[in-house]
Amino acid sequence: YVKMEDSESQLLSDEYQPPETLLGSLDIFVFSLIAGLLIYWFFFRKKTEPVLDLKTFPAGNIEPTQIFLLAKDAHRYGMKGMATDPEEYDMSELSRLKEIPNSMAVFCMATYGEGDPTDNAQEFYDWMQGTDDDLEGVNFAVFGLGNKTYEHFNATGNYTDKRLAELGGKRVFDLGLGDDDSNLEEDFISWKEQFWPAVCEFFGVEATGEESSIRQFELVVHNDINMNQVYTGEMGRLKSFQTQKPPFDSKNLFLAPVTVNRKLNKGGNRHLMHIELDIMDSKIRYDAGDHVAVYPTNDAAVVNRIGERLGVDLDTVISLKNLDEESNKKHPFPCPSTYRTALTHYLDINNTPRKNVLYELSQYTSDPQEQENMRKMASASPEGKALYQSWVLDSERNILAILEDLPSLNPPVDHLCELLPRLQARYYSIASSNKVHPTSIHICAVVIEYTTKTGRFYKGVATNWLKNKEVTENGHKHTVPMYVRRSQFRLPFKPSNPVIMIGPGTGIAPFVGFIQERAWQKEQGKDVGETILYFGCRHKNEDFLYQQELEEFERAGVLTQLNVAFSRDQEHKIYVQHLLKKNKEQLWKLIHSNNAHIYVCGDARNMARDVHTAFYEIAEEVGGLTHTQAVDYFKKLMTKGRYSQDVWS
């Protein structure tokens, strides 16, 4: 998700007095809330670093630029718009928005996990659930960000739209539902094209025809500045990497030393790794099933090539200052900074640029054909969509590839930095139990590397960055900026409850922690129920992850059953869902009679869906349920917290 810069004012506080400049000639104010933008470019994501880098976020992201363009679009209708983050304001004061004449709020709400809101929308979500405030007179619209491969598609957006109406708010335009499994940006653009006519009709205004300025920030070059005042990669407090002070969170990261970095697989052409982070001096606590957020840095070679291509001194100290002095978002990333720091720590230069970026950059092409193609790709025409799909998405061209393949494109580097989305944290399921490893956090991940259709070698940002943090004998320890994100993926409160864990590939990560914890519980003399694992990999002799540890747990009786599907060790592929069906009588008894808890971790698009289907078939074949009854049965298990998923698309 995206979090904006901290604001020193409370927009909706008792002290707030709407400035005259917000009302404009038509007294119309569009208040855009960015409430949970997930950027797996997710809704970044996908074919680029599809495995673990952003694994727990199923809702996609509309890049922040799109949201700010929505606010800037308001100027074409004589309106004043702003974009902000709900966690920066007291949303219980939302009812006071009606005190601003002809105003409305636009909520962009992302969903992740089991239908949950993002961190920065959690307080607002909790408020909606508990409040009985009267929102009569508050005008609103909602766009949801989700992914249809997940069970709770757009749950947060749906709830926000429904709840605001229940509280008396006036829905100005229908709920929009973006699907990142298809094309989230296209969904948003299509919704926006219908949104504005509805807004104009509601308020009785017409478009002025005036285009908003494409620049939101102005460049300030600092020729004489104390370098102690310049950001070097910190997310929040200046010099926070030099002086570490708990508590640690998304804006105050802990630099965790890497103490172990070993290859997990014995063969094959992939690199799967186990990494251990030392959190001894951090006061960080975690539970098995939580996620660790790590903040990677971009490849220095790619950053240098961008600087060379644009002919700029990357060590120039700059600030990008918001042209709207009333906006709470003063800078697009921590400033002052250097171009090198911005392109290394703050900006996403590895994923394919969105359409709005291509459109904005097209003005800097000197070749008419190149400009035409860029603008065509940014359009909603069938031809433009097809060209964008083939030339950008299918070919996986990042911003450097686009600059290299369009020789006449020479944008100012400051405008490029304004347009590029923020580099996002990567979330990994913690592969350890705090009961056994209270001073370390373990990560299991696969390094993403392959050749694209243009012949370029693609390297996943976070996984290659982690791979290179090798442990040396010279005393120097590499560090990883990180914090812990709490999860609802939890072992049963009663250790005696049986657990059924399904996690192919790196989806085994949280279950390593679960099994460690069950072993600890057993050592404490507790009655520990059956602990069953279904794991899948390609070849037994290549990528049977944690084989030695798992077999030792099995011998010790902690792991009651270790079921492994080696998909490519025989002519016909065998996956975890096949093993589930093989043990259908036992599984149904555990689930239906013994209160077993089911956990699924891994790929949402195929594996999780196939596992769902296998359980439905088991309920039908062994339990005698109809298909509809089977679906309802497992939905109830999810509601009760007995069927949990930690999946990614």
Give CA 592 to chain center in angstroms.
35
Beta bridge partners of 129: none
Cβ of 193: how many Cβ atoms within 10 Å? 10
**Dist. CA 37–CA 20, nearest whole Å:** 30
Q: Catalytic residues, which ones?
A: 429, 601, 646, 648
Burial environment of residue 16 by CB neighbours within 10 A (0 to 12, 13 to 18, 19 or more): middle
Amino acid 376 reads K
Q: Count the alpha carbons within 13 Å of 46 in the hemisphere toward its beta carbon.
A: 20
Picking from 594, 599, 602, 588, the residue whose alpha carbon sits closest to that of residue 633 is: 588
Cis ω for the linkage preceding 86 (within 30 of 0):
no
What residues contact residue 294 under an 8 Å CB cut-off, 6+ apart?
Answer: 425, 426, 428, 443, 462, 466, 480, 481, 482
**Dist. CA 176–CA 153, nearest whole Å:** 12
What residues contact residue 250 under an 8 Å CB cut-off, 6+ apart?
Answer: 3, 119, 235, 293, 425, 483
Burial environment of residue 469 by CB neighbours within 10 A (0 to 12, 13 to 18, 19 or more): middle
Quote the crossing angle between the two packed helices 584-592 and 609-621, to the nearest 10°: 90
CA quadruple 85, 87, 88, 90: dihedral positive or negative?
A: positive
Amino acid 268 reads G
Beta pairing, strands 643-648 & 597-603: parallel
Burial environment of residue 627 by CB neighbours within 10 A (0 to 12, 13 to 18, 19 or more): exposed
What residues contact residue 277 under an 8 Å CB cut-off, 6+ apart?
Answer: 256, 257, 258, 259, 292, 440, 441, 442, 443, 480, 482
**Dist. CA 379–CA 193, nearest whole Å:** 12
Task: Find where tokens 């979500």 sit.
Answer: 125
What residues contact residue 39 under an 8 Å CB cut-off, 6+ apart?
Answer: 1, 2, 54, 61, 63, 348, 421, 422, 424
What residues contact residue 224 under an 8 Å CB cut-off, 6+ apart?
Answer: none
